[in-house]
Amino acid sequence: MIVSMRKNEYVAQSNGYKIIAVDDEEGIVDSLSIFLKRSGYEFTGVTDPMEAIEKVRNEHFDLMVLDFIMEPIHGDQVVEEIRKFDKELYILLLTGHKDLAPPLDTIRRLDIQGYCEKSDKFDQLLLLIESGIKSIKQMNEIKRINQELSNTYEKLEKAYLESIQTLRYTVEAKDPYTRGHSDRVSEYSVLIGEKLGLSEEDIKTLRVGGLFHDIGKIGIPDSILLKDAKLTDDEYSEIKNHPSIGAHILCNAEVFKDIIPIVKHHHERYDGRGYPGMLKGEDIPYLARIAAVADSFDAMTSKRTYRNSLPIDIVREEIEKNLGTQFDPEIGKVFLDIIDNEYDKIEEIQEKYPA
């Protein structure tokens, strides 16, 4: 039987850690209150396990001391409910007798960090609490370090993204065709990705990859990039270097590793006659195959120095004709379905980013 302590016991200065104790015997809660406040903890005592669940839901506690045998529900049921919304609370279970403790697999499944038998002394419980607080301190420090690293990484990511964005705008300033093109390719790629049911992460990669897919044109001489007449074979070979140049620009930043396959391989062909790698079929990165369809569509529907934009029926015919040769047939068919049934979405993109 746990004995109550005197009400005038010394209460230490708070150490900042909050403990909630749950026991349907009020005398035990009172005893724990005096004992734990004397040890410097901020203490909340509850005799109703259902109330305890709501308190944990609405307030922050670092550690819970929880009786096992209670009414109307036992301690393991309390933990079961708490773990639905709080996976991190450190929980110590009190049992009247070790034979009444829940099975070990239940303790593991519910992530109960420890348990001890009730007694007229709190020495063992205090040791478990101190050990738990040390673990909580370590976890909080790890969280703090991770947050600092995350904040630093986000700042670096933002700075790098801004510098690459500047390069992108430089390309657009050099090449009137590129202006708006990358935005449209990005949006068309996202349309296809959503239609294919891709994950949010893949959709994000398509969006960013589309924006930067032509970044390598920064390395193409203006005399070639801005030429009105037909390119010579040598000049065309020079243009074909822009995917590799773009991949090289982005390769030193971890933040861009997922979009590099799009940047490098958006000019590959499904039949293996594309560039720069002459990759074929499934060897071409999947998201690059999506960007290839989007890029070609925008090229055909945009006005060029040597021709007007092509009518949509001609564009549709070209895509259909090149399924399995230039384009991945599955992806091409999905985009044809968008043209046939959701063309208003394409028009919205074109209005937002006019050529």
Which sequence positions are flagged as catalytic? 217
- Please provide the DSSP assignment of 125-155 as one string: HHHHHHHHHHHHHHHHHHHHHHHHHHHHHHH
Identity at 279, one-letter amino acid code:
L
What is the residue type of 284?
Answer: I
Q: Which two tokens stand for residue 213?
A: 């897919």
Alpha helices in the chain (DSSP H): 26-38, 49-58, 75-82, 104-109, 123-174, 181-195, 200-212, 222-225, 233-239, 242-250, 260-265, 286-301, 312-321, 329-341, 343-352
CA distances from 355 to 113, 176, 182, 233 (A): 62, 9, 11, 27
Is the Cβ–Cβ distance between 58 and 68 less than 8 Å?
Answer: no
| Edge-to-edge strand list for the sheet holding 42-46 | 42-46, 18-22, 63-67, 90-95, 114-117
Q: How far apart are CA 286 and CA 282, in angstroms?
A: 7
